[in-house]
Amino acid sequence: MSKANIYTVGGTVQANQNGIYLTRKADEELLALCRDRKFAYVLTPRQMGKSSLMVHTAQGLTQEGIQSVIIDLTSLGTQVKAEEWFLGLISEIADQLMLDTDIFAWWQSFSHLSFTQRLINFLYKILLVEVTSPVVIFIDEIDSTLSLDFTDDLFAAIRYTYNARVQKPEFHRLSFVLIGVATPGDLIKDPKRTPFNIGQRVDLTYFTFEEALSLT
C-alpha cells in the first residue's frame, strides 16, 4: 500500500484530506486580531500561503463561536457591471451566513441609494441584526479589483464600518481581513478620496526551523 501524500502542491493546503498544516507566527497573529475584532490585511506575493492561512483562521474562529465569511473576489468576475458585482458580493455573504432576508428584493427596494450606501446598510441593518455573534469577513484576491473602476466604493464602505464604530457600536462585532497581492495604497485609486488607511498588517514569513520540524 502506498503512503498517502501529506503535501498539497499549489492552492490552499488540504489539511483535512490526509494532509498537514504547519502553523507559523502569522497564524497566531491573525487569529488574535480576528478574536479582538480588529481589521487586518495580508498583502504579500503569491504562493506564500495566504489562502491557507485564511481558511485555517476561519476554522479556528468557528471553534470559538465566531462566524466567518470567505469571499474570493475572482468568483464575482471582472466583465460585469458595478451593480451585478456588488449584488453578487452581498448575495455571497448572505448565503454563507444563511440570512433570512430576501437579498434581491431588498436590493431593489433601495435602488435609489448608491452601491456604497446599500452595502453599508446591508451590513448594519441586515447582517448585524440577523447575526448576533461577532462576524469576520475574509476578502481574498483583492488584487482582482485593481482592473475595475468601481471598487473604490467597496474599500470606502469597509473603512466606514471601522470609523463608524464610535457612533454605531454594533459595528464592533464586524471586522474584515483583506488578502491579496497589493498594497493598502492600491486599494482606493481615486486620489480625491481618503486612502485605505486602517487595519493591521500581518506578514507571512518563511517557516522557522522549529515550525518546520513537523515535516520530519
pTM for this entry = 0.85
Dist. CA 163–CA 216, nearest whole Å: 47
SS3 of residue 85 by DSSP: helix
145-171 residue pLDDT tens: 877 888 888 888 999 999 999 999 999
> Per 3-state DSSP, what percentage of the chain is helix, strand, and coil (rounded to 5)?
45, 10, 40
2-38 residue pLDDT tens: 555 555 555 555 555 556 777 888 889 999 999 999 9
